[in-house]
Amino acid sequence: MDFLAVERGLVYLANMGPRVLLGVSGSIAAYKAVEIARLLQKGGAEVEVCLTRGALAFVTPLTFEAITRAPVRTEVLGTDGGEIAHVEQAHAVDLILVAPASANVLARLAAGFADDALTATILATRAPLLLAPAMETGMWENPATTDNVARLVARGAQILGPGEGALASGRSGRGRMLEPAEIVEQVFGALGPRDFAGREVLVTAGPTWEPLDPVRILSNRSTGAMGIEIAAAAARRGGQVNLVLGPTHLVPPSHPGLKVVRVETALQMLAAAEAALRKNSVVIGTAAVSDFRPAAARPQKLKRSDPAAAQLALAENPDVLATLGTKLGEGGLLVGFAAETEDVEAHALGKLKKKGCHLIIANQVGSAQGFGPGETKVVALDDVGGRAAFGPASKTKVAQFVLDQVARVGKQRSG
């Protein structure tokens, strides 16, 4: 295990580490980026490297390819994957680090340029951005650079250093890139906890479609947004995640720890979830499963004139979450969601008991609340009387809160 991992009490598993894109720009400090790539890898990260044209004057793609065993990208268009590659990478990586970040690359990023693989990827990403500047003191202190840095910080970028010390010019002053170990430590800090490493996580999400005939379905307003956020966050936190997802236009992000199974009906959702279930899984049921389905799906379109059209015969669907709960072992954890329109906490506690959950996340829903993007407010209630409220906050933040609660209840039960 790596020194960083030991220091933070984290466990990294092979091939399940966070994906980090290391951008290297034109500075004499570029040679230190080789050591950064090595340390990131040693700490459990999967490292991909992008070089700017300026960086190519100092280091070669081969140096990084030999360490990371992954192709190094330089241009937006061309034989290295073209436009799709940078969009793919932008969505897949968990964090982007630019080290060294030259004055020129800071200016291009501040202005929103996308004229090479690195800047195009950064423009397309939603992953955290860390920049480790390296330049002459005069360039660092120039108001143009100060302005660029301020703009990048205002947009959420994190600036690492620069420190003071000997510079390439032979002078001494501010502008020296931080040492690789210090940069790498900040990267792992920004990547957040890895508290789901080694855990199997099963998330159900989205609505279900219950066919009435070949063209009509019984469904609901769920988009699966909450479940997708939770599944992606659990994968980033180290979990091996199976996401069983009902019909939605939303596309889950790609991540090595996230496997998505698409289903349509409640029965398919149950079958797919049972296939992915392990005795000690953390099961998180966010799906808005249709409680009923048309008793018999018609092989042909139901006609208005058909007497059956005015009266729909329904059959009850299985409770996916409760069924999975009965198959979990001692080490498993069952987490439900309760979308309610009234008496939220009372109803949620009733469901917690009825379904045998260890934790339930309750939220109020209405026609304009709780579905799709936007802010949501939740209350976490556990089976030993614990209560924690959170929000209103984005679903991305609520997902982290839910996982914090799951981790807390897991610890509570095992300790």
H/E stretch holding 211: strand 210-211
- 124 three-state secondary structure: helix
CB of 355 vs ligand CTP, minimal distance in Å: 6
294 contacts 218 by C-beta, under 8 angstroms = yes
Q: Is 291 in the site for ligand CTP (CB under 6 A)?
A: yes
Query: Which window, 112-120, 126-134, 179-187, 333-341, contacts ligand CTP (CB under 6 A)?
Result: 333-341
Phi-psi region of 75 (alpha: psi -120 to 50; beta: other; left: phi over 0): beta
Query: Which window, 7-15, 85-93, 256-264, 316-324, contacts ligand CTP (CB under 6 A)?
Result: 316-324
H/E stretch holding 49: strand 46-51
Q: Is 285 in the site for ligand CTP (CB under 6 A)?
A: yes
Q: What is the DSSP letter of 304?
A: T
Q: Is 395 in the site for ligand CTP (CB under 6 A)?
A: no
Q: Is 378 in the site for ligand CTP (CB under 6 A)?
A: no
Exactly one of 30, 243, 320, 333 binds ligand CTP (CB under 6 A); which one?
A: 320
Q: Which is nearer to ligand CTP, 135 or 344 (CB)?
A: 344
Question: How far is Cα 227 from Cα 248, in angstroms, rounded to an integer?
Answer: 11
CB of 338 vs ligand CTP, minimal distance in Å: 5
23 contacts 50 by C-beta, under 8 angstroms = yes
Question: How far is Cα 287 from Cα 361, in angstroms, rounded to an integer?
Answer: 12
89 contacts 23 by C-beta, under 8 angstroms = no
CB of 411 vs ligand CTP, minimal distance in Å: 22
Q: Is 359 in the site for ligand CTP (CB under 6 A)?
A: no
Q: Is 339 in the site for ligand CTP (CB under 6 A)?
A: yes
- Say how many Å lie between the first and final Cα of the chain, rounded: 25
Locus of tokens 């061309």: 78
DSSP assignment of 373-402: SS-EEEEEEETTS-EEEEEEE-HHHHHHHH
Q: Which of the residues 15, 148, 220, 317 is marked catalytic?
A: 220
220 is catalytic: yes
Q: Is 289 in the site for ligand CTP (CB under 6 A)?
A: yes
Q: Is 182 in the site for ligand CTP (CB under 6 A)?
A: no
Q: Are strands 200-205 and 282-285 parallel, antiparallel or unpaired?
A: parallel
Q: Is 406 in the site for ligand CTP (CB under 6 A)?
A: no
Q: Is 244 in the site for ligand CTP (CB under 6 A)?
A: no
The number of residues in the chain equals 415
Question: Could you tell me which residues are beta bridge partners of residue 262?
Answer: 245
Query: Which window, 125-133, 151-159, 181-189, 283-291, contacts ligand CTP (CB under 6 A)?
Result: 283-291
Query: Which window, 15-23, 126-134, 306-314, 335-343, contacts ligand CTP (CB under 6 A)?
Result: 335-343
Exactly one of 338, 359, 379, 380 binds ligand CTP (CB under 6 A); which one?
A: 338
Q: Is 321 in the site for ligand CTP (CB under 6 A)?
A: yes
Exactly one of 200, 210, 229, 319 binds ligand CTP (CB under 6 A); which one?
A: 319
117 contacts 86 by C-beta, under 8 angstroms = yes
Exactly one of 188, 209, 337, 371 binds ligand CTP (CB under 6 A); which one?
A: 337
φ/ψ of 337, rounded to 5, equals -115, 145
CB of 289 vs ligand CTP, minimal distance in Å: 3
Q: Which is nearer to ligand CTP, 108 or 355 (CB)?
A: 355
Site for ligand CTP in 202-221 (CB under 6 A): 204
Q: Which is nearer to ligand CTP, 21 or 362 (CB)?
A: 362
And the tokens for 38?
Answer: 């090595």
Q: Are strands 292-294 and 314-316 parallel, antiparallel or unpaired?
A: antiparallel
Q: Is 332 in the site for ligand CTP (CB under 6 A)?
A: no
Q: Which is nearer to ligand CTP, 204 or 240 (CB)?
A: 204
- 251 three-state secondary structure: coil
Q: Is 43 in the site for ligand CTP (CB under 6 A)?
A: no
Q: Is 148 in the site for ligand CTP (CB under 6 A)?
A: no
Locus of tokens 């042909």: 300
Question: How far is Cα 376 from Cα 378, in angstroms, rounded to an integer?
Answer: 7
Active site residues: 220
> Which residues of this protein are in contact with ligand CTP, per CB under 6 A?
204, 266, 285-287, 289, 291, 317, 319-321, 336-339, 351
